[in-house]
Chain A
Amino acid sequence: MEKNKDKLGCSPKNKQNEEDGENTGGVLIKLSDVTKDYEIGEYIVRAVDNVSLRINKGQLVALKGPSGAGKTTLLNLIGGLDKPTKGRVMSFGLNISEMDEKSLAIFRLVHTGFIFQNYNLISTLSAEENVMFPMDLCGHPLERQRKVAVALLRDVGLEERREHLPIQLSAGEQQRVAIARAISNDPPLILADEPTANLDQETVNLIRVFFTRLKELQKTIIIATHDDLLIELADRVITFGDGTIVGGS
């Protein structure tokens, strides 16, 4: 199990090596002339158009812009969920736009934590098992997985509901589980796509607190959001429109 863990590079030591050794000048993510096209039937839709961007380690970056501006596509490209049609995405010193599926899967597991707009919990697993899932993939010992999952669910106020299935949880509760899952593996990069959309005020407040804490922990966070209070937390705000950067600090 330990061998597997090392192979995947899940251990903090490996992550640190990559972050410190391969990224110069504190730049964690670098996008160079990135374009992403989608083929929809006979049409080609350009979701991201020739974007170049650098994000430093420990920054909380807010991506804002209207729906369909390309924010989610950009997050997917940064997180290795998608590959650019043109250009290059460097993340943690790795050219993830050239990686094969297997390497990308390991990259996502080791370096990133995703928070999706639709929560995306695995339907057959309980809240606790959902949180344990990334750690399980990394090969962490079962006891440790359980300990971490319980602690994280306690932090998001769902300790009592840890054995519930996603369909037995409200939207806000599902999103809280999704946040706990995203950080369970202690990833250096957190990607969040509209994490507060359509949620109750209590959950929105909790999410804000969480992001503040993650920022203090020097995690690199990229959030696609319309939420002004979340944008206020950001070190940097990038405004997106028609697939390209139209403004920002």
Chain B
Amino acid sequence: MFTIGAIIAVSTFLILFSTSYDLSIFIPTQRNYLNPYFFLGAIHELYSDLASILIVLIFLISIVFIAIISYAFTSSQKKDISIMKAFGTLPGRIYKFYLSEVFFIFLIGFLLGVILGLSFYYIFTSIMTFLDFSITFEFNTLLLSILFILGCFSSLFTSAIFLERIGKKSIIQTFSKDVPYHFCVEKLKYIPKWLSLLGKNVKFSILNIKRRKGKFKQYFLIFLIISMIIFTVGLGTLVLRNTSKTWINKAQGEDILVIGHKNVVFAYAGMYSMFSNPNLLIHQYQIDLTDGSYLFNYSEISELETIPSLLQIDRRLLSFCNLQEIQGIAGDENAEIRTIGENRFGNFPVMGLNLFSLSQFYELEGYPFTTENANYTMIIGDGLANTFFEEPFNQRLQFIDYGVQFFISGIFIDTLYSGFASYMGLSQFQTLLEIPSDNINLLLLKPIPNTLEYSISQILPIIRNLGNQFVCINFETIFSENSDFIDKLTLYNLSVISLMALVSLLSLYNFQKGDLTDKIKDFRIMRALGSPLKNIRRILFFEGLFILISATLLSFAGGMIVNSLFLFENVILPPLYVPFLLSGIIMVFYIGLNSLTILPIIKKIQQEKFNEL
């Protein structure tokens, strides 16, 4: 009951933890943020996929644990069941009696676990909030209900299987010898004669595993899932961190200097901060970005082109516009035509830019617009693509106030306005807004690396021409906030890995200790016959090792499949050695854990007295 409670507590904690950033597709979004666009773009999609895989694996490990515990519990009642059968109790009554018992044990364990899990999570969120992490405390009824149903089914099903097995045996068979339910008495066919040459301890551990293969299978399954969680989350985290950081760095650039009216520059900075700040929203009613006082004529500062340390001078025009998603038509595999889109509308920032002089190198899905098609083609951000459109490449975007529609040729992954901005040709945007062709409200400059100080010193005298309301700001600090946010997400996954590592430590100890009840007499006999304690230590070590190595290798394969099916499609893959290295680290960690868990076991064996022989 307490073990079930502990499993449910860990599962509850992990499930609630997964809701922290609305990271799972299984969890209905309950966004109460001031900023409705906070972290809703492509990066969120990837992290959401990983969290969803994680939740599936958590469910899986809970079910397996509960099944093993229930089976072991029912099988420990074997003798009583045999007595009941001997006295003529009807099978239906035996089922009813033991399944009710298993159910109540599960129910109490579950309630205990949920209370424990919720309490731990509450304490955890309080600590994290105190440390300035934005984690919410939510009670997720849906997921906990699913966990209850799955756990209950797994518990009753495995117990019923045991009852059915024992029901098929004759009463005499169930009474005789009292062979442990997991003990293999058949002749071992695949134990080669030369096994002894590997050493008696290796041989003995292999024999132990073969004889107690039921137990071996149980723990193999547990460690397989634990390793798969660690491997999948570990590799997923590395891949996602690498991918999202690369995307963000490409979109934001390094040492980017922004020139503009201070109000526009601050609004622009805020639009970037919206990616990682749920309580910040820049909207059209706060600032009219195309107000005459915010616009400036580039020719007034064209002297900037004479500064040798500037790599790129990137003219921009930023404005809020009323946009509408226009329905499109798409054909599916059966050549059936269907209408897509819901004609959603909203007010979002649109950026006019020149793709040939970009200071930032966005990750682009699709194609850029060209000089030829810039009049009717534009690019949208990943946030818009994921939530405003259904199939953006088959739809169009309309500027409501101007009645103009644009095809979408590509999607930028950008943190600006959390991916809810759009991008079009600068001159086309100027024409649309009826702004003279030289007028812009932002100028982005990219200096040669390590020339930032020098560049600023050269720029400042030039922009004085624009007036004292115009500033030149280094966006590094604003950009690094978004980068730090990704690190926090990584921290979230690392916490999951740490918790799973703790679970694996306890499971391994439980395996060695639980199995010891069966083995302790054998070890006592071995010691009585003159076997040194180090032999027993090695036998235990090898038994654990065989489980861990096989589980790690299989989890490597499983984790790679899961990752490639659900995550790898759109990400930047790490070098090939990374998954191998990760698997190696997990294996080394397990070997260390294995050695560690043996210590108290050996101490227990050492305290055993021979007079019980």
B-side residues, CB < 8 A to A, are 177, 179, 183, 185, 187, 196-197, 200, 204, 207-208, 211-212, 521-522, 525-533, 535, 606, 609-611, 613
Task: Choose among B196, B208, B526, B529 the residue with the greatest number of A CB atoms under 10 Å from its CB.
Answer: B529
Complex contacts, B187 vs chain A, CB 8 Å: 163
> 9 smallest A-B Cβ distances: which pairs?
A109-B530, A81-B610, A108-B530, A124-B211, A120-B525, A105-B532, A122-B522, A136-B200, A142-B196
13 example contacts (A-B, Cβ-Cβ < 8 A) are as follows: A76-B611, A82-B610, A105-B530, A106-B532, A108-B528, A112-B530, A116-B613, A125-B207, A129-B207, A133-B526, A167-B179, A167-B183, A167-B185
Residues 95-113 of A contacting B (Cβ, < 8 Å): 101-102, 105-110, 112
Q: Are B526 and A122 in contact (CB under 8 A)?
A: yes
Distance in Å: Cβ of B394 to nearest Cβ of chain A: 66
Q: Are A123 and B522 in contact (CB under 8 A)?
A: yes
Measured CB to CB, the nearest residue on chain A to B610 is A81
Complex contacts, B197 vs chain A, CB 8 Å: 142
A58 within 8 A of B: no
Number of interface residues of A (CB under 8 A): 35
Contact check: which of A73, A101, A120 meets B528 at CB < 8 Å?
A120
How many angstroms between the C-alpha atoms of A116 and B533 in the bound complex?
21
Take A102-B532, A116-B613 as given contacts and tell me if A165 and B185 are in contact as well, using a CB distance cutoff of 8 Å.
Answer: yes
Measured CB to CB, the nearest residue on chain B to A47 is B611
Contact check: which of A105, A124, A167 meets B212 at CB < 8 Å?
A124
Contact check: which of A112, A121, A142 meets B525 at CB < 8 Å?
A121
Measured CB to CB, the nearest residue on chain B to A129 is B207
Take A76-B611, A124-B207, A125-B207 as given contacts and tell me if A114 and B529 are in contact as well, using a CB distance cutoff of 8 Å.
Answer: yes
A168 within 8 A of B: yes
Contact bitstring A127-158, B, C-beta under 8 A = 1, else 0: 00100011011000010000000000000000
Distance in Å: Cβ of A122 to nearest Cβ of chain B: 5
How many angstroms between the C-alpha atoms of A112 and B532 in the bound complex?
15
Measured CB to CB, the nearest residue on chain A to B193 is A142
Distance in Å: Cβ of B525 to nearest Cβ of chain A: 5
Distance in Å: Cβ of B260 to nearest Cβ of chain A: 78
Q: Are B611 and A108 in contact (CB under 8 A)?
A: no
Distance in Å: Cβ of A189 to nearest Cβ of chain B: 13
Task: Choose among A73, A105, A121, A136 the residue with the greatest number of B CB atoms under 10 Å from its CB.
Answer: A105
Complex contacts, B183 vs chain A, CB 8 Å: 123, 167
How many angstroms between the C-alpha atoms of A110 and B212 in the bound complex?
31
How many angstroms between the C-alpha atoms of A123 and B187 in the bound complex?
14
Complex contacts, B521 vs chain A, CB 8 Å: 120, 123
How many angstroms between the C-alpha atoms of A206 and B529 in the bound complex?
23
How many angstroms between the C-alpha atoms of A193 and B454 in the bound complex?
95
Complex contacts, B533 vs chain A, CB 8 Å: 101-102, 105
Complex contacts, B526 vs chain A, CB 8 Å: 122, 133
Distance in Å: Cβ of A169 to nearest Cβ of chain B: 10
How many angstroms between the C-alpha atoms of A11 and B556 in the bound complex?
49
